[in-house]
Amino acid sequence: MTENIKLMFSKMNDETRQEALECLMTEFHQESTKKIQKNWIIGSRIPEEHQPRIVQIFQNLLRVQILKTNEIKVNL
């Protein structure tokens, strides 16, 4: 599951990535977004009990990102 999480994270733009890291920090009571990115995402050391919830969060954020992108395209 960690590879899927890393793949979803890699598909996010910078704004969505920052939002995802902030969301994970709040959701799982962590102290730093940098530690989450370094240890959990890049290092693939995501606690197993958090993985299903992280997938949900990332899926929702990617949906919003796609909707925003489509909205921009329509307005052009």
pLDDT in tens, 11-47: 999 999 999 999 999 999 999 999 999 999 999 999 9
What does the pLDDT read at residue 70? 79
pLDDT tops 70 at residue 53: yes
Residue owning tokens 């910078």: 14
pLDDT tops 70 at residue 76: no
pLDDT tops 70 at residue 62: yes
Cα-to-chain-centroid distance, residue 30: 15
pLDDT tops 80 at residue 72: no
Nearest one of 8, 65, 19, 63 to 41, comparing CA atoms:
8
What does the pLDDT read at residue 61? 97
